[in-house]
Structure formats: C-alpha cells, structure tokens
Structure 1
Amino acid sequence: MQSEEARLKYLFQRYFNKTASQDERKELADLISDDHNKNRFMQLMSETWEHYQNDGDWITASASDAMLKHILAKEETSEVPVKRIAWPRLAAAAAVLIIIAGAAWFIINNNKKETPAAIQELAQDAAPGSYKAQLTLADGSHITLDSAALGQLAKQGNTTVINKAGELLYKPEGGDQSIIYNTITTNRGETYSFSLADGSKVWLNSASTVRFPVAFTGADRRIEITGEVFVKVAKDKTHPFIVSASGMEVKALGTEFNVNAYGDEGGVSATLVEGSVSVGRRPAYAKASAGEAEGREEKAKEEDQSVILKPGEQVSVTQSSQLSQPVQVQIEEVIGWKDGFFHFESAELPAILRQFARWYDIEVVYEGPVTKRKFFTIVQRSSTLKNVLALLQDNNINYKIEGKKLIVSQ
C-alpha cells in the first residue's frame, strides 16, 4: 500500500500538472490540513520552485506558510474575502506570485523590495468597477439598473420585470406569451447579475451584453451574448439551454459554464464548471436571413462540429471558425471575475492588462517592447488601479497614469 508521504507527493504532482480530479484535489486538501503533512507540503513547494527557477530563487518558510494558509482558508472564518486557489504550474519565465487583498499584498520572491515610494506618491488613480448595468426594453426604452427603484420596473407582454433587493427578476404570468426580447448591457467598469424567466442566473463581466426573451416559449431556451458571461442553468431536460456567441453555440440542460467572447481575445471560449455541455460552431445559416438560409443550410450542417465538455475543460472557436479540442484549465482562473478576483496563472502581460482595461475603463498604451515574462497573480477586483499595478512596478515594469491612459514601459 502506498505510504501517506508517497500519496502526498503523488497528489501534489497531479495538482501541479493540472491533472488532479476533483476527488484528488479534495484528498490533497484533507492531507495538508494535518500539521505533519503541512511541513512536507511546504518542502515540496520549495523543491518545485528551486527546480524551475534558473536564478535559484526559492520560497521561504514564512512565505510558504502564508501560501498554505491562503489555500486552506475558509471563507466563513476570514475577515477579508479569500479565494481558494490551486497551486499553479511554475515556469522558468514566471516572475512573481502576488496575492493582493485590499491594500495588503505578499510577494513570494527572495530578492524583492517593499512597494516603491513612487506608487504611494502617484496622484492619479482609477477606481474599480461597480455593480451596474442598463436594461433595454422591447420598445427601446432604457432603465439604469444601479439606481432603479425596487419592485416592478416594467411589464413586457405577460411577464413582469422586478427589481428585488438589487437583482433583476423576470416573472412570467399565465396566458399566451408572445416572443419579446430584452437586452442587458454592462459598460467598461461595470458588472451585473440577473435571473431569467426559467430561473437560470446570468452574470455579466464588463463590456458585455445578453439578449434574451422575457419568457421561454419554444422548444429551447436561447440567449445571445457578447463579452463574457457566466451561466448557472436551471434544470429542464425537455428544453435545452443554448448560448450563442459569435461563431459558437453552447448547449446545456442544467449546468454551470463560462463563455468569453471579447473581440480582442482572438476567439470565443467556453469553459465547463459543472454538469455537461455540447459546444459547437454556430451554423452559418443561423446568422443568415431566411432567403439566404435555405440554400446554405445543408452545407452548414456538413461543416458543423461539436464536442462534449467535462467539468474543468475548455474549448474555443478561433476567428477563422476552427473548433479546438477540449483542454484542461484551472476553473478558478477562468471564473475568478465572477467571484470578485483577477486570477492569472502563467499569464502574459497583455492578457492581464486587457482585463484591467475593461474593469477600470482605461486605455493601455505600450512604449517600447512588451515583456514576454509570465505572471502568477491573484488580485481583488475591489482594489484600485494603483494597488493592482504594484505587480508591474515590482518587476521592473514602469507605468504612469495620464487621465484615462495607462502608459506601460520597460
């Protein structure tokens, strides 16, 4: 029988390589809650760091202990919201892991200095985004959802639109339901969540839209999105739930998944959190007019592809309409935005700054070449721009804020 120490090492390597199952991840968390195993776990972290760092950097005992406490932290006993994270794969190009909780942050690196005084002295800053959106009704009228009065907001056919404690709800009533569409839009620097008529819940990231019927009356439940959304689908085996985003369609019965369809991300991706979904390219005829569709439907069907995702898998459709094979991803990294975090594992600087730009409503301008280094970072989205940019300043990347512009140089 495998010894406990050997089992711990095996589970750590599985976790490190992103191949651990949910049961294995739980078993690892249970093992390292024991004091004896905790010390061995910190030793494994240090050994891993030494193996992958060319310059000999290593994780100190105090830093390892802080990291371990963060991993095992229980939300109900923490004064500051803490996100449980998986230990990421380290790469030689990785620069630093920063965990920012409000104004407090820890740097796991043995040769870094304290926050530069220049950061404290910067006069300009950008506030984090807020819980806000705009509702567009069927007649084209608009309601701003951060200041909307509680109670009934509108009547859309036989469906009542209600603001209950700051959350939008759609309540269909009896009688025939004509197909009426509403749209919810978040601008840069905004996020919002609401419930559809079937009880499904939708979260919108910044610069996103969801177009949906106020009541689902057909054979399926279909919505269209741009930007990024997370969907928790109400179970209904007889009415599939379909999300359309650019060249992708995600089909589910009752599940949780994330769709990223930002135009500057190089394609559309779908990530499954729970349950099962079928993901395929959106048929060409679905975007054509009725006259065009008749002659193109058969060809589109021939070209159609789809894959079934398992929890923790992601698939994408590129701008050239190619459907990728499923890959395993860290769910915490993909849906961190929904839980109030920026979460990056081995992310390049442009990818990080694209998210910052949308949330803080800024334009990013590069002066000179862009670093190819990778970053492991977890940052609360409630932090100001200056606080999250501490990771740049600490890695010899200079920046300055001029109005709505963030200018980055090396």
Structure 2
Amino acid sequence: MKPDHYDGIEALIIKYLKGELTEEENRLLRDWRQELPENEKLFAELTDDIQLTQEFNVFLDINQEKGSRRLQASIRKKERQPEYLRRLYWSVAASVLFLIGGYWAYRSLTNLNPHEAVVAQVADIAAPSVSNAVLTLANGEKIVLDSVHNGVMAMQGQVHLVKSEDGQIEYNASGTGAGEAPAFNMLENPRGSKIVGITLSDGTKIWLNSESTLRYPTYFSGKERKVQITGEAYLEVAHNAKQPFIVMKENTEVTVLGTRFNINTYEEEPSLKITLLEGKVSVKHDGKSAFLMPGQQAIISRSDGKIDVAGNIDTDDVTAWLNGQFVLDGTRLTSLMNQISRWYNVEVVYTTKITNKAFGGSIDRNVPLSRMLDALRENEVNCRLEGGKVIVGGSEGGQR
C-alpha cells in the first residue's frame, strides 16, 4: 500500500477504536502500519486510550468550541509530518469529534452525565486484536512480531527463525550446532496483547498469555532442555526420554519428558499453579516436591512455599484462555480483575474494601471491555471505566 493511497484507513482506525474490525480489515490495517515507521507512530497516537480520554474530558469540561480548538492545536503541532499523514490525522480526529458532538446532542435530550456517555461509548477499550509480542535475539536486536512479514525473520548460527502464516514463531535447526554454544532468546508478550505461540527447535510448542515471558536457547544441547517462564503459558512438550524438559521460575522447577500442561506464575496471584493435562510431571520448590497425574494441579503457596496437590481439576477451565474465554466458575473477584487488567491493559482501582466473592459462568475474551464490565455489574459488582482505569467499588451494587 503506497503511503499516498490511504483511502479507508481512517475508517479502519475508527473501527479499531470501537472494537469492530473484521479479520480482513485487521490485516489491511496491519499492512498499512508496517508500510512506514511514520504510519505506526501515527497509529499509536490515534489509539492511545488515555490520551483520547483526556482530550474528551477537556472537551466536556470546557465546552465544545474550546475543546475543539485544543484538539486542533495538538494537530497543528504535526506540521512537519508528510501531507498525507496530516490529512489522515485530521480525518480521524474529525470523526472522533463527530462522535463527541453526537453525545452532546444526546445529552441535551437526556439527563445522562456527559462523562458517563463518553466513557461508556467513546472511550471503550477493545479486546486485543493484534500481537504486540517482542522477540529479543542473542545480540540484543528486538523484533516486534506484527511489524515483520511472514517467512525467515533472522538467522542465529544454524537456526532459522521463521514467522508462519498464522503469526506464530518457529525455530528450525539446520544442523546439530556441534562445537557452538546455543544462543538465548527472549519472547515477551506484554499486557493488552493477543496470545502468541512459538515452536522451539525440539518441536515443543508453547503459547504465552498476555504479560508473560519465555527465555530459551535457540537449540537444546546437553542432558537437559531448560526454559524460563514468567506469567502464564501452555506447553506441549516434545517427548525425549534422554533429555528431560525443565521449566524454571525462580526457585520452582517443573520437569517433564513429554506432556501437556499449563503453568500460571503471575506475581500478583497468591500461589503458583501447575495443571497437568497429559503425561506426568514432577514439581520442586524450595526442597519440597510433588508428582502430578493428568487432571491434577500443584498449588504452591507464595506465603509458606507449601505444595498442595488438587485432583479432579477441570482442565478445560484452566486452559480456557487459549480458546478465547474468561471462565468465571470459582474465580475470585481480585483474580478476575487481575485477568481483566492484563488482557485489556487497564489499571484497576479499588475505591472500597471488597468482598472477594466467587463467580460462575464464562464470557468471551474478545468482547470490548464495556461488555465485560456489564457482566460484572450483572453479578452485583459496582464497576465502571473512567479515564482509562477500571474503578471497582462505590455505593451501588457490588461488594456486599
């Protein structure tokens, strides 16, 4: 897509802000973002939730005329940008102002607080539609996965790094690497990013949830296959009886030969959880150990390091995040809000002391944040989106 042919891009950006992009539209927008660094920078400015909310609040707190002048003044600061980018910025900004104008008209016909209208409709936050994962190579080079085309991304020794058609990463070793020390790479999937998958050189497949990292060698040598994980990951480990696969998280080790399991190590949670779907694993932590069979879960307390093993775990619930679901069954409010915070990349603020009640049911992870908050309010949780933050608590509903 040539930079001077941007027809329709403004519409795609508006649909992105509203969480209404189709897969094909998302591909077109991603291609445009990758065309030039200036395009990606402009996109980031136009989709900054906090910045947009601030502009909307200024618009409402002063009046429509002054608010418009302030937004236009910020646009005039972009005089040095190419002409087509300035036109695009004006086009999208005009559409945003049109939305605001519509809510002013709505306000004149109702008693609805204008801030509530804007927060509920204009400043809604869409579920992640792209991956913002960053791959750091052994030499320190960083690759933003969504900024590169499919195919070979890099070469490290005898290992090809390939981006597949579905956006996943594959490590293909063309030799044994004899006499050559393996290099270490880091895959980081930040908050507000889609799940990212990777196939290691031994065939092991790993999927990372948002706000999770994986550190691993480009190929495995020696008697063990070791990786380090933070956050949450699902692994399908390639079987190799002669070379056990070990997942490390600080002073916790999970050792397997070939199996499928989920590991959740988020720091804000009170415990680490390792859930086995298939095979057999051993879990070690501070000199303590436990063995898991399919359907069991090791729960490691952060407070005392004790390992408890729970049976009859619904593994579909544990791995629901892979299938685009928030499973609420038995989930405590604080844990659920942590998930929402990571997935939508929002700060959660508690204004009152809460009762850490449990929920039931499930909800699609691909819905906008407003729909998620609607579901919480249906469960008597008083919450709202305000200024790019989720506010929990208050005088109505909720934490009783």
- TM-score, with structure 1 as normaliser: 0.63
| Residue equivalent to 1:127 | 126
Unaligned runs of 5+ in 2: 1-115
- Alpha-carbon distance in 2 for matches of 1:336, 1:385: 18
Alpha-carbon shift at residue 307 of structure 1 (Å): 1.1
| Residue equivalent to 1:202 | 206
Does structure 1 residue 404 correspond to structure 2 residue 388?
A: yes
| Residue equivalent to 2:13 | none
Contact 1:241 1:253 (C-alpha < 8 Å) held by counterparts = yes
Alpha-carbon shift at residue 246 of structure 1 (Å): 2.5
Does structure 1 residue 379 correspond to structure 2 residue 379?
A: no
Range with greater deviation from structure 2 (397-406 or 348-357): 397-406
| Residue equivalent to 2:335 | 351
Alpha-carbon shift at residue 241 of structure 1 (Å): 0.6
- Alpha-carbon distance in 2 for matches of 1:381, 1:119: 23
- Alpha-carbon distance in 1 for matches of 2:171, 2:323: 23
Contact 1:203 1:229 (C-alpha < 8 Å) held by counterparts = yes
Secondary structure at 2:329 match in 1: strand
Contact 1:246 1:261 (C-alpha < 8 Å) held by counterparts = no
Contact 2:234 2:261 (C-alpha < 8 Å) held by counterparts = yes
| Residue equivalent to 1:139 | 139
Of the three residues 254, 275, 278, the one matched with 1:271 is 275
| Residue equivalent to 1:193 | 197
Secondary structure at 2:254 match in 1: strand
Secondary structure at 1:338 match in 2: helix
Q: 1:131 to 1:321 in 2, by over 3 A?
A: farther
- Alpha-carbon distance in 1 for matches of 2:237, 2:172: 16
Higher helix share: 2
Amino acid at match of 1:398: N
Once the two structures are superposed, what CA deviation does each residue of 1:248-281 show, in whole Å capped at 9, x if it has no partner? 1111111001111111002322110111111111
Unaligned runs of 5+ in 1: 1-117, 284-303
Any residues of structure 2 matched to 1:18-37 within 5 Å, and which? none
Amino acid at match of 1:335: T
Contact 1:276 1:311 (C-alpha < 8 Å) held by counterparts = yes
Contact 1:266 1:318 (C-alpha < 8 Å) held by counterparts = yes
| Residue equivalent to 2:225 | 221
Contact 1:346 1:376 (C-alpha < 8 Å) held by counterparts = yes
Of the three residues 289, 297, 306, the one matched with 1:306 is 289
Alpha-carbon shift at residue 318 of structure 1 (Å): 2.3
| Residue equivalent to 1:326 | 309
- Alpha-carbon distance in 2 for matches of 1:325, 1:178: 38
| Residue equivalent to 2:73 | none
Any residues of structure 2 matched to 1:261-300 within 5 Å, and which? 261-281=265-285
| Residue equivalent to 1:231 | 235
Q: 1:131 to 1:193 in 2, by over 3 A?
A: farther
**C-alpha RMSD of matched pairs (Å):** 1.8
Q: 1:150 to 1:121 in 2, by over 3 A?
A: closer
Secondary structure at 2:213 match in 1: strand
Higher strand share: 1
Q: Kindly, what percent of the aligned residue pairs are identical?
A: 36
Contact 1:365 1:406 (C-alpha < 8 Å) held by counterparts = yes
Alpha-carbon shift at residue 131 of structure 1 (Å): 4.2
Q: 1:184 to 1:321 in 2, by over 3 A?
A: farther
Once the two structures are superposed, what CA deviation does each residue of 1:91-113 show, in whole Å capped at 9, x if it has no partner? xxxxxxxxxxxxxxxxxxxxxxx
- Alpha-carbon distance in 2 for matches of 1:385, 1:183: 30
Alpha-carbon shift at residue 243 of structure 1 (Å): 0.4
Does structure 1 residue 317 correspond to structure 2 residue 300?
A: yes
Secondary structure at 1:264 match in 2: coil
Amino acid at match of 1:217: S
Alpha-carbon shift at residue 306 of structure 1 (Å): 1.5
- Alpha-carbon distance in 2 for matches of 1:255, 1:120: 48
Q: 1:386 to 1:119 in 2, by over 3 A?
A: farther
Q: 1:180 to 1:255 in 2, by over 3 A?
A: same
Alpha-carbon shift at residue 158 of structure 1 (Å): 1.4
Alpha-carbon shift at residue 320 of structure 1 (Å): 4.1
| Residue equivalent to 2:157 | 157
Alpha-carbon shift at residue 178 of structure 1 (Å): 1.7
Runs of 4+ in 1 over 2 A off after TM superposition: 118-121, 316-321, 395-398
| Residue equivalent to 1:89 | none
Amino acid at match of 2:120: L
Contact 1:248 1:317 (C-alpha < 8 Å) held by counterparts = no
| More relative contact order, 1 or 2 (CA 8 Å, 6+ apart) | 1
Alpha-carbon shift at residue 144 of structure 1 (Å): 0.6
Contact 1:315 1:323 (C-alpha < 8 Å) held by counterparts = no
Of the three residues 184, 188, 204, the one matched with 2:187 is 184
Amino acid at match of 2:307: S
Q: 1:162 to 1:393 in 2, by over 3 A?
A: same
Alpha-carbon shift at residue 373 of structure 1 (Å): 2.7
Any residues of structure 2 matched to 1:37-48 within 5 Å, and which? none
- Alpha-carbon distance in 1 for matches of 2:296, 2:328: 17
Alpha-carbon shift at residue 389 of structure 1 (Å): 1.3
| Residue equivalent to 1:168 | 169
| Residue equivalent to 1:392 | 376
- Alpha-carbon distance in 1 for matches of 2:296, 2:238: 21
